[in-house]
């Protein structure tokens, strides 16, 4: 899987987890469950540090990569160190992506609630 495909995969997984009650249809009315969407945003917020921690190579792991292969394995050692650094960078990028999704959800929920309130005010006047 390419780096470009990872955020899409993560998004599909999260959507499967939270599909249940975010939007409720009753007759002709559609109701958005804002609290459920806020919970969805919290999930994304919580996922950001978890994925960073999971993908970040510790300084100990980086140091041991240099010792694992001895004198004859310097090419392997360099490649492994490079891969561990790339994995760490990917974890930080996915963490930022998760935070961005959470912010996007919160922004849209706030905009929906504001529009809904304005619509109710317009209808009542």
| Cβ–Cβ under 8 Å, residues 1 and 9 | yes
> What local confidence, expressed as pLDDT, does residue 90 receive?
94
Could you tell me which residues come within 8 angstroms of residue 46 by beta carbon, excluding any fewer than 6 positions away?
Answer: none
For residue 54 the two structure tokens come to 């999971």
Instruction: Evaluate if pTM is beyond 0.95.
Output: no
Residue 52 counted as domain residue: yes
Residue 125 counted as domain residue: no
Place of tokens 């495909």: 5
Other C-beta atoms closer than 10 Å to the C-beta of 41 total 20
Measured in residues, the chain has a length of 125
Domain count, the chain: 1
Residue 51 counted as domain residue: yes
For residue 94 the two structure tokens come to 């996915």
Q: What is the pLDDT of residues 66-80, one digit of tens each?
A: 677 777 677 788 888
Nearest to 105 by CA among 10, 46, 47, 34: 34
Residue 14 counted as domain residue: yes
Residue 44 counted as domain residue: yes
Residue 114 counted as domain residue: yes
Residue 86 counted as domain residue: yes
Structural domain that includes position 111: 5-120
Work out whether the CA dihedral 100, 104, 107, 113 comes out positive or negative.
negative
> What local confidence, expressed as pLDDT, does residue 1 receive?
47
Give, for all 125 residues of the chain, the pLDDT tens digit: 455 556 666 666 556 555 545 555 556 667 788 999 999 999 999 999 999 999 998 888 877 876 777 776 777 888 888 899 999 999 999 999 999 999 999 999 999 999 988 988 898 88
Residue 19 counted as domain residue: yes
């Amino acid at each position: 899987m390419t780096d470009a495909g990872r955020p899409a995969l993560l998004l599909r997984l999260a959507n499967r987890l939270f599909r249940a009650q975010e939007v409720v249809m009753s007759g002709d009315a559609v109701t958005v469950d804002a609290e459920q969407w806020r919970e969805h945003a919290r999930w994304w917020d919580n996922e950001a540090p978890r994925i960073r921690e999971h993908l970040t190579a510790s300084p100990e792991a980086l140091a041991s990569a240099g010792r694992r292969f001895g004198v004859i394995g310097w090419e392997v050692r360099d490649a492994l160190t490079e891969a561990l650094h790339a994995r760490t960078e990917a974890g930080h990028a996915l963490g930022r992506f998760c935070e961005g999704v959470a912010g996007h959800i919160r922004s849209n929920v706030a905009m929906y609630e504001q529009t809904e309130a304005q619509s109710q005010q317009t209808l009542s006047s």
